[in-house]
Copies of this chain bind each other. A is one copy, B any other.
Amino acid sequence: MTERRSTWQKAAVKDALTKADVFISAQDLHKHLSGENQKVGLTTVYRALAELADTGEADSLTTADGEMRYRVCHSPQHHHHLSCRNCGKAVEVKFAATEGWAERLASEHGFSDVTHSIEIFGVCAACAEN
Query: Which residues of A approach B to under 8 Å, CB–CB?
Result: 62-68, 82, 84-85, 91, 93, 95, 97-98, 101-102, 105-106, 109-125, 128
Contact = CB atoms under 8 A, between A and B. Distances in A.
B105 A114 contact: no
29 contacts: A62-B63, A62-B66, A66-B66, A82-B105, A82-B109, A82-B111, A84-B111, A85-B113, A91-B109, A93-B105, A95-B101, A98-B98, A106-B122, A111-B120, A111-B123, A111-B124, A111-B125, A112-B125, A113-B122, A113-B123, A114-B120, A114-B121, A114-B122, A115-B120, A116-B118, A116-B120, A117-B117, A117-B119, A117-B121
B106 A120 contact: yes
A112 to B, nearest CB: 5
A35 B109 CA distance: 32
A23 to B, nearest CB: 14
A110 B124 contact: yes
B116 A119 contact: yes
